[in-house]
Amino acid sequence: MSSPKLPSLLIVEDDLALQKQIKWSLDRFESVVADDVASAVLQFRRHTPAVVTMDLGLPPDQDSVSEGFKCLEKLLELDPNVKVIVLTGQNDQANALRAIRMGAYDFLAKPVDADVLELTVERALRLYELQQENRRLQMQNQVDALGGVITRDPGMQRVCRMVEKVAPSDATVLLLGESGTGKEVLAQGLHDASKRKGRFVAINCAAIPENLLESELFGYEKGAFTGATKTTVGKIETADGGTLMLDEIGDLPMSLQAKLLRFLQERKIERIGGRQEIAIDVRVVGATHQDLKKQIEEGRFREDLYYRLAEIVVDIPPLRNRVGDAVLLSHSFLRRFASEQRRPVIGLAEDAIHAIEAHRWPGNVRELQNVLKRALIMADGNKLGALDLQLKVAEPADDETSLDLRLVRERAERQAVLTALARTDGNIARAADLLGVSRPTLYDLMNRLQVKTAASKESN
Ligand SMILES: Nc1ncnc2c1ncn2[C@@H]1O[C@H](COP(=O)(O)OP(=O)(O)OP(=O)(O)O)[C@@H](O)[C@H]1O
Ligand SMILES: [Mg+2]
């Protein structure tokens, strides 16, 4: 299938003769045109151009610049990286500067010299492409083992660092976290970062009936039981040289707990019906959303097995305790879904952002994914609103901690900074605006509060 070249230029100009003239003088570039704010936004969504040339005086109010600035704001909101070249009247320095301050790339006074315009567009395009390439390279560098984990929350970042640190060792790791917090993502990341050559194999102990689980784990010899028509290796053997994730380990039946313990002590298995011990080199990762300590007290989980599994315990914070992450993840998922479905990216309306921030997310990241997927199907505007999300009203958070004023202040500051960065999807300039501080002040704040610029941030 041949893909037509994407227009890289949008020309916004209400004077049709002038529009034609500009298009003609820039005929080296694939371009589309628009003559007012609505059509500009529409074309922009449809074609996501890299560069826009824009007249500031647009209908219905050609004599003022209000429509032009509205248009500029909207386009930058749709893509903060777009290069907008503003065409102003003669001697209209004030508006030119205002446009630059808002994020326009450059300005030219009308009447515009065709060569100057062409050169300016050319430079803008080159800058756009360089920046895009740069983002791509940065992403590639970041495609480390935990590249799939999106977070800016300090607690969750600590979790990622811990996983990276223990990865090269042989230590058995226990991942504790509510359902949907990313246990499997982290287990896979642990495997990838471990450089173990074998496979990553996951088995869900809760999903397989007790009588099948043993053969699933240990495998069986031909003729071991009726129906065992050929020798079959189990998951532990399949993971030899790699990593075995025992998901929902809290649901492992007592009889198998004893067998698993023996394996963890001796690192050898015997297939069902087999006579021979097979040595296995596997890194084991347990995961559960259950309270294992409580299960031990109730006699449902072996304490000795717990200590074998819990050489390193990783507590994964629930999404509601990760500051700013719900909105950050939402932006990223919306981008991913849009590219999967080859649709333009749909943004989040202000009230949707508030609803996402207020929700308790009992099902964590998985719930967030599902909510957004459903909302996308239901939404018919070009922004998801709170109503599209269909979230239940949240209960207030109940965790009240220290009242030390300095700590309270820091906590509030960090929360505000993280929230602003999440809302603006990491755009420092806009986050600074939201916070009502200058860009350098925001950098200082981020430094002091140890907030990273873009941790494991997806870009595309
Ligand atoms: N921090 C994150 N960044 C990006 N995607 C994430 C993140 N955390 C989880 N996900 C995604 O959310 C979904 C749920 O994650 P995962 O399956 O790892 O959770 P889990 O804790 O194993 O859940 P369950 O208890 O339901 O098995 C997956 O699609 C995963 O890719
Ligand atoms: Mg899971």
Which residue intervals of 143-197 are DSSP H helices?
A: 154-166, 183-194
Q: If pLDDT is split at 50, 70 and 90, which confidence band does 335 have?
A: confident
Atom index in ligand 1 nearest the CA of residue 369 equals 12
Range among 49-63, 266-280, 341-355, 381-395 rated most confident: 266-280
Atom index in ligand 1 nearest the CA of residue 332 equals 4
- Say what the pLDDT of residue 459 is: 35
- Say what the pLDDT of residue 7 is: 66
Residues 289-293, mean pLDDT to the nearest whole number: 94
Q: Point out the ligand nearest to the CA of residue 179.
A: 1
Measured distance CA(238)–CA(219) in Å, rounded:
9
What residue owns the CA closest to ligand 1's atom 9?
182
Q: If pLDDT is split at 50, 70 and 90, which confidence band does 140 have?
A: low
Residues 71-83, mean pLDDT to the nearest whole number: 91
Q: If pLDDT is split at 50, 70 and 90, which confidence band does 5 have?
A: low
pTM metric for this prediction: 0.62
* Tens of pLDDT, residues 60-69: 877 788 899 9
- Say what the pLDDT of residue 1 is: 38
Classify burial at 238, counting beta carbons within 10 Å of its beta carbon; exposed 0-12, middle 13-18, buried 19 or more. middle
**Mean pLDDT rounded to a whole number for the chain:** 88
Cβ-based neighbour number of residue 259 at 10 Å: 17
Q: How far is the CA of 423 from the centre of ligand 2 (A)?
A: 28
- Say what the pLDDT of residue 396 is: 43
- The beta-strand segments (E) located in 122-210 are 173-176, 200-204
Position with higher pLDDT, 339 vs 53: 53
Residues 234-259, mean pLDDT to the nearest whole number: 95
Of 27-31, 56-60, 267-271, 378-382, the poorest mean pLDDT is in 378-382
Measured distance CA(288)–CA(285) in Å, rounded:
10
Neighbours of ion ligand 2 (CB under 5 A): 183-184
Q: If pLDDT is split at 50, 70 and 90, which confidence band does 393 have?
A: low
* Tens of pLDDT, residues 424-445: 888 899 999 999 888 888 998 8
Q: How far is the CA of 289 from the centre of ligand 2 (A)?
A: 9
Residue 455 confidence (pLDDT) above 70: no
Share of the chain above pLDDT 70, in %: 92
State which H helix or E strand residue 385 sits in.
none
